[in-house]
Structure formats: structure tokens, C-alpha cells
Copies of this chain bind each other. A is one copy, B any other.
């Protein structure tokens, strides 16, 4: 290896390992898109780089390409017309297998060093990636920068830190000496070699291609596997840039660039299935619908499959000090990226008899109206609102808004189309708030998008029971609760631990239930149907490699 990237990044690695253990706040990648952090020209450079991709062949050389593919359209109304090399699934597999032969020999230091260098360079390209994320996912720029850039890089680094920590526990060469009483001891030498599983397939989603894609990509790469990145056909660009940078680092380090490959494809073809079922694919990371995730778990039996799927996120309101701050916090969570987050709350349970507040009793209707007002207030100024809501990523979500309206439930706040001051063609919607009864079966499924049900329950006890049951049966990534009663808080915590869902209590300030911080918050628990793994923990990395030992007498 010409460059010892491991040595270059050893300090940040040690800090990452330490941060993941203490779980206090830590991040090496600034979330502020400030010129003071990223340089005076960073934003312009990033925008120009993004614009240079538009209407062009994406600059990625992959052998065996049989043509070009790509039909991304920005949810803000701009056709991107980026054309990516199209390589058939068997050709990708063949090249990945060939790259594996040398990559597997490089060993943990090289795997981790290369992974860390890629993350460093991704960070330097955070603006370019931010524009790519914005114009494929529909996120507002600030979220596209933070979640698509530094926060995604944090999650990638976190996975590398876990991988390194586990691998570092395996000694290389060991002397083993077993006493034999008065006789000479039995002596052996034992060598332990970490071997990768094989080819890792990362299946990207259309809403958080980098944030949800990096953990699997970096966990697999850092444990010696080669990686085929298969983006969602409507959000290729952020991952194409990622793959391009990864391949540049690999070449600089003296490795085969095909250790990381891009599998761009059209929505209509079967590339995903062909890759997922190939016997050489031993690891699959997937973010997307339960239908596709369940299919992978059932059919790709040759692989370890890590999935994040659908769920029904919930809020329990029992009692509050200051209702306005509760409503403000929740309204932001409803509107943020138009609820197109796997962590966005959907069902808000409120006792039909109302709740206690510091200023006295509030009826159910007052609570429901208060939430609706907070949404209206947040989205009152379209110019400000669009920065929170971003745009709707795809037509399916618009259809779901119509479908929710057609349920015929009382409308607390209707979803309004907002004009985007910058992008005429942007599809922007405010959240739809509907009132529902706890017994309504419609609330038991995920309504991905800006669709919220304020649900009348018999009591807080009933809210807790319904929330638990929904987590167990339909899955959830988040549970949020508001209560001023310690005993109720304790009860909800117990329920969350039993059902296996993370709990946020009394969020009224600048932290929202949708958000998790790498190195501190686990994303997902792996304990309910919404996800079979957590980002990141030992279980997420420890089965991506195996240890093969050789022993002999001294």
C-alpha cells in the first residue's frame, strides 16, 4: 500500500471507538455548512460539481458497461438527465469476485484505513453530495447537507469503529502452552485470520440514499468484503458520487477499484433480484418497504440480510407542562421532510377525556386543534416552510395523501400545496392531520409521508397498550411520549422495552423524535418488525467476517 491510511486516521478511529462506548455527544464531521468550516468556495464548488453532472455521462469507468441508464428527476422539478454506466448483474458479480481475491488479503488495517480515507474525502465533498441528495430525495438543502453529508458520514464512521473494535479483539499469532504436570507442556502456535464473507450488496432507498446506505457499505468494506452499491433508480446520484470517491481512494491505495461498484439500473428491470439471489452475494443491506425487505429475508437465504423496513411510529400524550411547546415540537416532526422519514411520527394517542396541563385540563378537541394550529403556524410562510418540508419525493406519497383524505375522517389540518419561491416545479405539501378513533384499523398501517392521525383513546393506559401492540405487530422505529407523571413515564419506558422500541420523553425543544445522533442513539433496535438490526452495534458488524485459524506444534 503506497499510503498508510490507517495510520493517517488512527486518532479519529480511536475517538470514534471511545465515543461509541461512552455514547456522549461526538462528531468529527461538522454539521454546519459554514464557509469557516468547509472553506469559502465549498458551496459554489459543490453546486458547480452537481451542475456538471446534469445532462452528462457520469464520470465512472466500469468495465463491461453495455450502455447508459438513468432517468432521475428532481422533486424540485428539474430533470437531471445524468447517465450512469449500465453493467449486467453477472458481470458486476464477476468483477466483484475478482476484486475480492486481492482485497481479502489486504487485512483489517488496510480495510479500515481505506474506509476512513473514503469517509474523509466524502466529507470534503459534502456540498456536492448535499445538492445531489436534495435533487433526488426532495429534502430541503439544510437537511440534505446535514443528513446526507456529515450525519451520514458519522454513521459510516460509527460502523467502521464497531467493525474495527470487534476485529481488533482477534489476535494474530498466539502461543498456546498447556501444562502437563511433571512432563513438558504441550506447545502450539495458532494463527487467526479474519476472512470476509464475500460480496456485499447495499440496496439504497430513495429518501436517504447516503444516510441509510453508508452503515452497511462501510461495515462491509471495513470487514474485507467487496461492495456492490445498488441505488434506488430515483436516487442514484448521491451513491454514484460516493462510489466514484471510494474507487479513487482504492486506486490511490493500490487496490482494485472494483472493490466498490455501482449497479445503476432502471426501475423496471430485475437487477436488484438478480444481484440479491446470486450465490456469491453473502451480505445484503436493505432500506425500503416491508414487502421488498420481507422478500429478501425469505429468498436471499445464502446471505446475511440486514433490513430496515416499514413501521408505525407513535406518540403518546398523557400530560404536559406547556402544551404550546409540545405542539411546536410535534408539528415540526410532522412537517420535517414531509414525514418522508422512517422515524416520523404518524399516530398521536390522546385520551378522549383530555389531558392535564400546567394550566389546567385540555379536552381532546383542544389538543387536536392545538396540534393543527401548530402545523398551520409552522407552514404559514411558504418560503420558510419549504425549507422544513422539502418536496414530495414521488407520486406514491401524493396518492397516499389523497387516499388518507378519502378515509372520510374528520380533517384537523388539510394538506396544502405550497409554492416554492425558488423551484417552480417543486411538489410541496403541508401535513395532513386527521382525527381517528383507536379502533380504526386504518391507523395500523404505515402511511409514509405527511399524514398524521390524532387518535382518541380510552385512557393513557389504553394508549400505552395500543402503542405496544402496534410496535410488536407492525414495527416502529420511534416512540415519543409526553407525561409529567414519573410513574406513567416509567410505565411507558417498560412498555417500550418490552415491545422493543426506542423512546423519547417530553421533547419540547430543539431535539425531534425523527432524529438520532450517531455514536449515541441507536437507530432502530432490531427487536421489532421495522428493522432486524440496529445502527450500529456489535451484532451489526460481527457476522460480516469470520475467523479461520491454523494451528501447529512449536
Contacts and interface: CB of A to CB of B under 8 A. Distances in A.
Interface of A: 21-25, 166, 169, 171, 174-180, 186, 188, 190-193, 195, 197, 297-298, 301, 493, 496-498, 500-511, 517, 520-522, 525-527, 534, 537-539, 542-543, 546-553
Nearest to A185: B25
Given A521-B551, A522-B549, 11 more contacts: A25-B176, A169-B538, A174-B520, A188-B511, A298-B301, A500-B546, A502-B549, A526-B546, A527-B548, A534-B547, A537-B547
21 contacts: A23-B192, A24-B177, A25-B177, A25-B178, A166-B538, A188-B511, A191-B493, A193-B497, A195-B497, A197-B527, A496-B550, A497-B548, A502-B551, A504-B551, A507-B553, A509-B553, A522-B549, A525-B547, A534-B546, A534-B547, A539-B543
A503 B526 CA distance: 35
Given A169-B21, A508-B553, A542-B538, A548 B503 contact: yes
A479 to B, nearest CB: 9
Contacts of A171: 21-23
Contact of A542 (B503, B517, B525, B539): B539
Contact of A548 (B193, B500, B505): B500
Nearest to A189: B505
Nearest to A513: B551
A507 to B, nearest CB: 7
A507 B553 CA distance: 7
B176 A24 contact: yes
B537 A186 contact: no
A550 B503 contact: yes
A169 B186 CA distance: 35
Contact of A551 (B177, B503, B525, B539): B503
Contact of A195 (B22, B174, B500, B521): B500
B547 A517 contact: no
A25 B508 CA distance: 56
The 4 A-B residue pairs with the shortest CB-CB distance in the complex, in nearest-first order: A505-B552, A539-B542, A527-B546, A538-B542
Q: How many copies does the complex hold?
A: 2
Contacts of A175: 24
Contacts of A506: 552-553
Nearest to A193: B497
Contacts of A503: 548-551
Nearest to A100: B498
Contacts of A550: 493, 496, 502-505
A178 B301 CA distance: 42
Contacts of A174: 22-24, 520
A504 B542 contact: no
Contacts of A177: 24-25
A537 B542 contact: yes
A446 to B, nearest CB: 21
Given A195-B500, A547-B522, A548-B502, A511 B25 contact: no
A503 B21 CA distance: 35
A222 B178 CA distance: 28
A511 B169 contact: no
A321 to B, nearest CB: 12
A92 to B, nearest CB: 21
A548 B525 contact: yes
Contacts of A534: 546-547
Nearest to A191: B493
A549 B192 CA distance: 35
A195 B501 CA distance: 11
Contacts of A22: 171, 174
A314 to B, nearest CB: 15
B520 A176 contact: yes
A537 B546 CA distance: 9
Nearest to A24: B176
Contacts of A23: 171, 174, 176, 190, 192
Contacts of A21: 169, 171
